[in-house]
Structure 1
Amino acid sequence: MVQVYFHCSNAEGTLIDHYGAAVSNLTEARDRAAQIMRSMILTPSNEDWRDWVIHVSDDDGEEIFDLPFTAMLGKPH
């Protein structure tokens, strides 16, 4: 198991994940990132989530991969 962190950012700032989650592999990390993304999108708000990205990082702060919210929402028409 590896501890990874799911930081979310847009052009205006970053939401830091101080707790992270233990995952077994990259597929599990990607699934957790998608779960976080869905949770944020479904929370009632006026936020346009298409500008946001989840950055998945390890204990050393090295980014493993990022996942733009547009992967789930699509781009505006």
Structure 2
Amino acid sequence: MTEVYFHCSDAQHVFLDRRGAAMDIIEAREHAERMVRTMLMTPSTEDWREWVLHVTDDLGAEIFAVPFASVLGRLH
């Protein structure tokens, strides 16, 4: 298992995960997608299309990223 961190950012904001969690890459990807979906479903005036969730290891190296727009899908 790897210690992973889930950071969210857009061009104007950065929210750092300082706690992290021990999980494998498959669990981290599932957790990241759940986090993005939860944030998107929370009532807010925030425009999430430019946000990205960055998953990093304990050294700060990015493992993968989940753009919120990939979960939102295409606009109609």
> What is the TM-score normalised by the length of structure 1?
0.90
Offset of residue 56 of structure 1: 0.3
Match of 2:16 in 1: 16
User: What stretches of structure 1 move > 3 A for 4+ residues in a row?
Assistant: none
Cα drift, residue 75 of structure 1: 3.8
How many percent identity over aligned positions?
53
CA RMSD of aligned residues (A): 1.1
1:47 aligns with 46
* TM-score (ref. length: structure 2): 0.91
Counterpart CA distance in 2 for 1:10 and 1:66 is 12
For residues 41 and 13 of structure 1, the distance between their equivalents in structure 2, rounded to whole angstroms, comes to: 16
Aligned length, in residue pairs: 76
Q: What is the SS of the residue equivalent to 1:50?
A: helix
Gaps of 5+ in 1: none
